[in-house]
Structure 1
């Protein structure tokens, strides 16, 4: 039997992108969303992982960078596998973490190079602001937080 050289083996494995996001609510249960200035829609605070970075570390870093605050990154709420789409030629695995409850936007110092705004929205106002594949993560994150167990999605749908 001929074994494949490890470098060749790993070079031929599937590759994907990874991102981490924070699920934050206020005491009334409204969801925190941010409005990037480079997109037409709102999203959860967060972003892509840097090389060698763990997803929970990326989540904390992105919150510090985008909102200027430090939050405790809690348990994993949602893992969503997004198939390649549009200009993104690889799959994206998105990790959404429970980053707790924040009373208000007071204390936020938005990274203006990336964000136009940040606001808390009731569910019915948050969903239309999000792309469809991200909107399903709101329901999944709420369910995961309530049931204290992560939810796995594939292209935004429960598996």
Structure 2
């Protein structure tokens, strides 16, 4: 029996997706944000809205979280994380968002972002979660090789 398309699509598994931006300053330091709801620092970004393309979600999240109107550039990392602790599988997309000019104002999102810092890549690895550290190492590989890195964990 062939199901109507809407019924068939309803039987398929679902997943979550997020997009984040790798924003640097003129010294090559990475912009990290500290949210009000997580212990570790993170890249600016967040969960995609229904039907939202990753690059558009990245730009939206950056505008919301740090007040920067940046156009995401090259896709650096695609990350797939297996379902865990009641969470669906998670796809992540990290985009290059270029260096920001010195003195560019950062406006933190009220109630969600508590702080920000531009930190050297090595220091960033110590401030973020283990999952984000793996993503940042993949970012470095992507930038060194000019390729997009695929992570699957």
TM-aligned CA deviation for residue 69 of structure 1: 1.3
TM-aligned CA deviation for residue 104 of structure 1: 4.3
Q: 1:44 to 1:18 in 2, by over 3 A?
A: same
- Report runs of 4+ in structure 1 exceeding 3 Å deviation: 103-106
- Runs of at least 5 residues in structure 2 that lack an aligned partner in the other structure: none
Secondary structure at the aligned position of 2:108 is classed as coil
- TM-score for the superposition, normalised by structure 1: 0.89
Given that 1:78 and 1:140 are in contact with CA atoms closer than 8 Å, whether structure 2 keeps it comes out as yes
Match for residue 41 of structure 1? 40
Secondary structure at the aligned position of 1:69 is classed as coil
Match for residue 120 of structure 2? 122
Distance in 1, Cα, partners of 2:150 & 2:52: 21
Per-residue displacement from partner, 1:74-106 (whole Å, max 9, x unpaired)? 011100001112242x01100000001124464
- Runs of at least 5 residues in structure 1 that lack an aligned partner in the other structure: none
Distance in 2, Cα, partners of 1:130 & 1:103: 24
Given that 1:79 and 1:96 are in contact with CA atoms closer than 8 Å, whether structure 2 keeps it comes out as yes
TM-align CA RMSD? 1.4
- TM-score for the superposition, normalised by structure 2: 0.93
How many equivalent pairs are there?
A: 153
